[in-house]
């Protein structure tokens, strides 16, 4: 069946683009050229866990709108580490999070992507991994990470978290590294990728890790549940939709549990506070880094709780390493995922929901062409994402023409 709409993308996922604010080398004018209509941003200058001021929110909103765009999704209000850890300050910073969420909703920004990754946000070991085309990709190398954790950071007890063959390879890798290589790996892992809440040096990360001593998976999940029990009712009251981003990579790092990595994790957290305001950011790249995450099955399982989508692809190695491949080329069946998301949008329309449209953004992109020699935020250069968005838009257009969504 062919679409009768004159605009081929009228039923499509909303095309959005992450923008890091006025200091982002990729400008809002660039975003328009890429063909996105929505912007995903945050007050990156207020990232200490305190509530965002309404005036600053209004100012950011104005900047976006003056460029002819819409602030579609907030990514992210930071989660203060005391919330993950369950420290004395958790209640105070949970309230600050909820206050920011309410102030944003008051000005029309209702979709909130956030994450519950402790200490480090998303993590890679390599920012310029050459791919066959000549572009440069982000990569997580499980051996390099173990080498850092066990032999450079020397985290107490770290060795027992790795299999003997991984440890052996990690030791060889660590021994072969010179001072520059150590610095580069350390900076990549702990100095904070764009959007991370905190940046660390070796002493501060050791101290942070120690604060998590004794926090096992169940305890961490308990802290998360307490956070949701406070914040979700406030989200319902102000019309906000929370959508938690999966752990990236979806596994424990530095011996600290992560509780948003698998289908079972999502089932537990969505059931813990069963409200539409307690939702999911479906990030194909993060979830796709685990072979046991069946992505189409996860879209089907959680469809009505998906409020936001990050689309990118990965190629996995058996040892848990992966690199970010082209958006349509990798271990994630991108076409199947998009078809299911379009079907979910259709269900929402058929049910008469005014907010049926799900925002997506092309997540990350390779460093390509003249971006290679420019100053860019890792993963967030213009041309690679522009290419990713164009490819994803092509998939959406084709699927819609074939009657999906």
Q: Which long-range contacts (CB under 8 A, 24 or more apart) does 85-94 make?
A: 85/118, 85/211, 85/212, 85/215, 85/223, 86/215, 86/219, 86/222, 86/223, 86/226, 87/211, 90/223, 90/226, 90/227, 91/230, 93/49, 94/226, 94/227, 94/230, 94/231
Examine the residue annotation and report whether 310 is marked as an active-site residue of this protein. Answer: yes
Best CA proximity match to 290, nearest among 269, 262, 328: 262
CA dist 302 and 320 (Å) reads 25
- Smallest distance, ligand DNO to C-beta of residue 361, A: 9
Best CA proximity match to 287, nearest among 385, 371, 363, 398: 363
With tokens 């420290």, the residue in question is: 87
CA dist 369 and 108 (Å) reads 37
- Smallest distance, ligand DNO to C-beta of residue 289, A: 12
1-9, 115-123, 155-163, 339-347 -> range binding ligand DNO (CB under 6 A): 115-123
Cβ 205 vs Cβ 187: under 8 Å: no
- Smallest distance, ligand DNO to C-beta of residue 228, A: 15
Give the residue with the Cβ less far from ligand DNO, 122 or 221.
Answer: 122
Interaction between residue 122 and ligand DNO (CB under 6 A):
yes
- Smallest distance, ligand DNO to C-beta of residue 247, A: 9
Give the residue with the Cβ less far from ligand DNO, 151 or 380.
Answer: 380
Interaction between residue 384 and ligand DNO (CB under 6 A):
no
Interaction between residue 387 and ligand DNO (CB under 6 A):
no
The number of C-alpha atoms within 13 Å of 98 and in the hemisphere containing its C-beta is: 22
Give the residue with the Cβ less far from ligand DNO, 141 or 400.
Answer: 141
Examine the residue annotation and report whether 245 is marked as an active-site residue of this protein. Answer: yes
**Among positions 288, 379, 384, 405, the unique one binding ligand DNO when judged by CB under 6 A:** 379
- Among the listed residues 80, 364, 366, 404, the single catalytic one is 364
Interaction between residue 114 and ligand DNO (CB under 6 A):
yes
Residues 230 to 269: which contact ligand DNO by CB under 6 A?
245, 248
Query: How many residues comprise the chain?
Result: 405
Examine the residue annotation and report whether 364 is marked as an active-site residue of this protein. Answer: yes
CA distances from 51 to 88, 141, 194, 334 (A): 18, 36, 20, 37
- Among the listed residues 363, 366, 371, 404, the single catalytic one is 363
Interaction between residue 75 and ligand DNO (CB under 6 A):
yes
Residues 271 to 300: which contact ligand DNO by CB under 6 A?
283
The number of C-alpha atoms within 13 Å of 374 and in the hemisphere containing its C-beta is: 18
With tokens 């909820």, the residue in question is: 98
The number of C-alpha atoms within 13 Å of 177 and in the hemisphere containing its C-beta is: 20
**Among positions 124, 290, 310, 385, the unique one binding ligand DNO when judged by CB under 6 A:** 310
- Among the listed residues 80, 245, 327, 366, the single catalytic one is 245
111-119, 218-226, 230-238, 388-396 -> range binding ligand DNO (CB under 6 A): 111-119
With tokens 């602030």, the residue in question is: 71
Interaction between residue 49 and ligand DNO (CB under 6 A):
no
113-121, 221-229, 290-298, 334-342 -> range binding ligand DNO (CB under 6 A): 113-121
Cβ 67 vs Cβ 28: under 8 Å: yes
Examine the residue annotation and report whether 2 is marked as an active-site residue of this protein. Answer: no
**Among positions 70, 84, 115, 293, the unique one binding ligand DNO when judged by CB under 6 A:** 115
Q: Checking DSSP bridges between strand 136-140 and strand 126-130, what pairing results, if any? A: antiparallel
**Among positions 195, 250, 330, 384, the unique one binding ligand DNO when judged by CB under 6 A:** 195
Q: Considering CB under 6 A, how many residues would be counted as binding ligand DNO?
A: 15
CA dist 2 and 285 (Å) reads 31
Helix (H, G, I), strand (E, B) or coil at 367: strand
Tokens of 323: 């690199």
112-120, 164-172, 317-325, 338-346 -> range binding ligand DNO (CB under 6 A): 112-120
Give the residue with the Cβ less far from ligand DNO, 195 or 320.
Answer: 195
Catalytic annotation, residues: 245, 283, 310, 363-364, 380
Residue numbers at the binding site for ligand DNO (CB under 6 A):
75-76, 113-115, 121-122, 195, 245, 248, 283, 310, 363-364, 379
């Amino acid at each position: 069946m062919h679409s009768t709409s004159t605009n081929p993308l009228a039923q499509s996922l909303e095309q959005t683009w992450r923008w890091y604010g006025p200091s982002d080398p990729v400008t809002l004018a660039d975003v328009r050229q890429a063909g996105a209509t929505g912007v995903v941003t945050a007050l990156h200058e207020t990232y200490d866990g305190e509530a965002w001021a309404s005036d600053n929110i209004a100012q950011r909103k104005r900047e976006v709108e003056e460029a002819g765009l819409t602030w579609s999704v907030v990514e992210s209000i930071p989660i203060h580490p005391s919330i993950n850890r369950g420290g004395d300050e958790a209640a105070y910073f949970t309230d600050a999070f909820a206050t920011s969420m309410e102030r944003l909703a008051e000005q029309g920004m209702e979709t909130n992507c956030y994450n519950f990754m402790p200490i480090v946000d998303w993590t890679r070991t390599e920012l310029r991994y050459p791919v066959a085309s000549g572009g440069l990709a982000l990569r997580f190398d499980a051996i390099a990470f173990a080498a850092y954790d066990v032999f450079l950071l020397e985290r107490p007890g770290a060795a027992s978290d790795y299999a003997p063959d991984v440890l052996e390879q990690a030791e060889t890798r660590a021994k072969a590294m010179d001072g520059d290589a150590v610095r580069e790996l350390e900076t990549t892992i702990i100095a904070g990728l764009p959007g991370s809440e905190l940046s660390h040096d070796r002493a501060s990360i050791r101290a942070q890790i120690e604060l998590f001593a004794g926090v096992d998976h169940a305890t961490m999940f308990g802290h998360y549940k307490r956070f949701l029990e406070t914040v979700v009712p406030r989200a319902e009251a102000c019309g906000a939709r929370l959508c938690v981003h999966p752990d990236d990579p979806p596994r424990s790092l530095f011996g600290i549990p992560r509780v948003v990595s698998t289908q079972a994790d999502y089932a537990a957290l969505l059931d813990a506070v069963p409200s539409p305001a307690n939702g999911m950011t479906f990030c194909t790249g993060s979830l796709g880094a685990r072979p046991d995450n069946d992505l189409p099955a996860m879209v089907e399982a959680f469809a009505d709780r998906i409020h936001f989508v990050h689309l990118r692809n990965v190629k996995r190695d058996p040892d848990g390493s992966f690199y970010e491949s082209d958006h349509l080329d990798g271990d994630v069946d991108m076409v199947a995922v998009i078809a299911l998301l379009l079907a979910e949008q259709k269900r929402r329309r058929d049910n008469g929901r005014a907010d049926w449209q799900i925002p997506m953004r092309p997540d990350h992109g390779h460093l390509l062409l003249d971006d290679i020699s420019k100053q860019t935020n890792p993963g967030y250069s213009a041309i690679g994402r522009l290419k990713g968005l164009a490819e994803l838009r092509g998939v959406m257009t084709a699927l819609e023409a074939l009657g999906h969504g």
